[in-house]
Chain A
């Protein structure tokens, strides 16, 4: 039985997300106003997906202590939120994204849980690989991506090799299409078709 929780200070956002998930997947959401409330009240056993807002430093510290490895976290962010506020989560999605983007993001995550036994998907990228892929898709050079992510250019190149090997896609345009399909790009600030 899948459980999804959302932790967000805005009541309207909690309601909107609850409505969307109910409409598309017929699943009830557990809602919490902030991380502290979540820590106090949640039942750890059931949760598989967690929507959370962009955390500040103090909240991020608290978050790390929770040890949420079994749970897939999705950060709901505003377009202007910085990278450091969103990278604690497995995925991130903009609050300005259309409903279809939420559907595309949730569908594979929920389907996987339904199968019970995890299907060995060799195409799963790590968080870091997804970050590098996003910058490549946005058109950044290896050097620019390295600067933006605060890692060395060798690390970027190494990640790109792994990405190509896992996905089987070599061209930058192809990788960009993959990034769009998997919601690594905010489609409301940039028209994805122009990136390809």
Chain B
């Protein structure tokens, strides 16, 4: 996968990779882009061009495992991006999946114990996810804010604690898909099932990328900040 450069027209990139559209939205970049390049758009909207381009490339290229591409990680912009991502999940992505799952469960007219178990499993996963997002918003991001302002921080907190909390939530989505695709007797509408799986997969890709951004960009930068703070 060749690296996207900031001299490319963003419209061309999005035509080839429409999955990047929500990511652009998090930077307040919407459609109606004409032929403007990434650099032009970022300059016009006061966005760090290198940072935006790095985010796109990290999403498209799973081989990127560190932030060598970025000479300087703008931590406050990064946190703002992650917060926007959370809002996207809470107000759009998760409600959409909920809706698809409801349509799927109501389409089951005969024996439905399997699909009910799937719903319980998904609800439990969703609660874990919401708790994790809340933890990031209430504990981790404020902590980072304090580091940036060089003010007093919680003495017993460090980003290492967050790294441990960074549990492998994606495994459960994987299990959910496996259960439906391999093990469940299809006593429900096939189209409703496909819609659910499509949205679930789309979400899985996004949240996996979200976790990577935190691992590749956020945690190393905050560790640097912690060192200078002490």
Contacts and interface: CB of A to CB of B under 8 A. Distances in A.
A104 B113 contact: yes
B150 interface: no
Interface of B: 111, 113-114, 116-118, 120-121, 124-125, 171-172, 174-176, 178-179, 182-185
Interface in A135-179: 167-171, 173-174, 176-178
A193 B179 contact: no
Given A104-B185, A167-B183, A181-B183, A174 B178 contact: yes
B117 A108 contact: no
Contacts of B172: 171, 173-174
Contacts of A171: 171-172, 175
A177 B185 contact: no
B184 to A, nearest CB: 6
Given A101-B113, A174-B178, A180-B117, 16 more contacts: A123-B183, A168-B178, A169-B178, A173-B121, A173-B172, A174-B176, A174-B179, A176-B117, A178-B179, A181-B113, A181-B114, A187-B113, A192-B117, A193-B120, A196-B117, A196-B121
10 contacts: A101-B113, A104-B114, A173-B124, A174-B172, A177-B114, A177-B179, A178-B183, A180-B114, A181-B114, A196-B117
Given A104-B185, A173-B121, A167 B113 contact: no
A103 B178 contact: no
Given A104-B113, A193-B120, A181 B175 contact: no
A105 B120 CA distance: 21
A108 B116 CA distance: 19
A107 interface: yes
A100 interface: yes
Interface in A90-110: 100-101, 103-104, 107-108
Ranked 8 nearest A-B pairs via Cβ:
A174-B175, A181-B114, A168-B178, A177-B117, A193-B120, A180-B117, A196-B120, A100-B111
B117 A181 contact: yes
Contacts of A181: 113-114, 117, 179, 183-185
Contacts of B121: 173-174, 176-177, 196
B186 to A, nearest CB: 12
Contacts of B114: 104, 177, 180-181
B193 to A, nearest CB: 15
B131 to A, nearest CB: 15
Nearest to B175: A174
Contacts of A170: 171, 174-175
A193 B116 contact: yes
B113 A177 contact: no
Nearest to A173: B121
Contacts of A103: 111
Contacts of B176: 174
Interface in A48-103: 100-101, 103
Nearest to B119: A193
B125 to A, nearest CB: 8
Nearest to B115: A181
Contact of B179 (A101, A104, A107, A169): A169
Nearest to A178: B183
A180 B111 CA distance: 13
A144 B176 CA distance: 27
Contacts of B178: 167-169, 174
